[in-house]
Amino acid sequence: MEKIGRYVIESEIGRGAMGVVYLAHDPRLRRRVAVKTYALPEGLSEEQLREFQVRFLREAQAAASLSHPGIVVIYDVDGDPDLGLPFIAMEYIHGRSLKELLAQGGRVSPRWAFKMGAVLADALRVAHESGIIHRDIKPANILLRVPDGAPKIADFGVARLSTSDLTRTSASLGSPAYMSPEQFRGNGLDGRSDLFSLATVLYEAFSGGRPFTGEDIPSLAYAIAHEPVEPITRRIEDIPPGLDEFFERALAKNPEDRFSDGGAFLAALQEAASSQPSLAESGLYEAGEAREADPAELAESESRSSADSASGEMPVRRRRGRFLAMKLAAWAVLSLSLLGGATFWLLRPAHLKLDAKSSIETGRLSLLVDGQEVYTRQLSAPRQGNHVFGKLLGRDQETFQDWIKIPPGRHEVAARVLSEGAGPDFRDSIVVELKAGETRTLRMSAGRSFGAPVSLKLD
């Protein structure tokens, strides 16, 4: 396979129960993307096939509306008619999954685990407030970006497809080890199920082992639904004691006994961190911040620290490290002073000046840059009925101008008008290339009186 849609395939980077993930190149925007295809089960009727396509498009579009540093950005949702495959093009995260990290190191630094939990809990809060439940939070769906280790949730909004009646014969119901009790029972789910799964992931990140285990699926399901969670401080000594109470509530069997939402989950996680002063004083727990070293280095540093302490070599290594750090710091100050001015000049933002006119009486305008909403406005052109002279004189139009800050480079800019009446929605897009500090005028017309429902032009 050489292409999917307009995307040129470079290599395969993952494979799951429902499809394959490819690293691809977007020739239109000249960037790398991850393209995930979805294989349909055999033996579907035409009605079931249409149902899948409608649900796939609806849920992927809903996920594309999410904007959070802890959620992988969705750029495009479409289907390849030649291959017969629906696909999603999304942000390519250079790094690895939390599953790969845990398989190598066993556990991660408590300091970084708290940071990761803060980002992911806040990401789930944003998604749940938008009415979107993930349904398959697990280490394999948490990607860690190189080089800073920033965590991002993948497969948002499409994991539900694997739990529908339509695909039940070809896909597992999530990952059993991280499922909530209500998932095993087949009950209705809300955001608290995702938070149970996140708590299971964090318990494993802190301790190196899952809170519930079983020799087979039935015994695992029984443990998750009935057995109390072992206090994590019995497994690991170097973590805040407040985590025992946190996990007891986060992994409660009854959803009513858990944290009500991602915000409450995050607040309790912060409170647990405060029970260990060395962590609380470092100010690590602002949601959206996870900018420490690569977590693999943190896990490895723990192993090195334990070995050094046992051999009595820690003080000598620390003195050598400090001397080397002083030399490096001197070079760093000189380098930063030279590079600072150049960096500031090269990273100056560009601007789009929006010059718009609209004859749409009721609607909502959204401008998106690379799939992310950057501007919105309610449209309300004056009502002139069928008065011919009013239209000829432009009295049925509204005009407005705004300035939009945009990073330098090549971008896809799209205008979308959502009708509030019974009419259809309209969309147009254009590719722009901006230099640092440059200002370009983006002219937009909306309304059939201009010859097209929505049109964009770059001056």
Which value, to the nearest 10 degrees, does the dihedral of the CA atoms of residues 375, 377, 379, 380 take?
Answer: -150
Question: What are the Cα distances from residue 380, in Å, to 391, 396, 421, 429?
Answer: 15, 10, 12, 22
- Answer whether 436's CB lies under 8 Å from 345's CB: yes
Rg of the Cα trace of the chain?
A: 26
Q: What's at 344, amino acid-wise?
A: F
Question: What are the Cα distances from residue 25, in Å, to 3, 91, 100, 408?
Answer: 9, 11, 25, 20
Q: Token pair of 349, please?
A: 């933002």
Q: Which residue in 291, 309, 263 sits closest to 148, CA to CA?
A: 291
Question: What are the Cα distances from residue 150, in Å, to 70, 215, 294, 318?
Answer: 8, 33, 8, 28
Catalytic residue among 26, 136, 194, 396: 136
For the chain, the first-to-last Cα distance in angstroms comes to 39
Inter-axis angle of helices 314-346 and 295-311, nearest 10: 160
Inter-axis angle of helices 191-207 and 262-273, nearest 10: 30
Q: How many angstroms separate the CA atoms of 203 and 113, rounded?
A: 9
Residue 411, number of CB atoms within 10 A of its CB:
21
Known active-site residue 80: no
Half-sphere exposure in the Cβ direction for 304 (13 Å, CA): 9
Q: How many angstroms separate the CA atoms of 302 and 295, rounded?
A: 11
Phi, psi of 130 (to 5 degrees): -90, 5
Q: How many angstroms separate the CA atoms of 285 and 322, rounded?
A: 27
Pairing mode of beta strands 350-358, 439-446 = parallel
Q: Token pair of 165, please?
A: 């009646």
The catalytic residue positions are 136
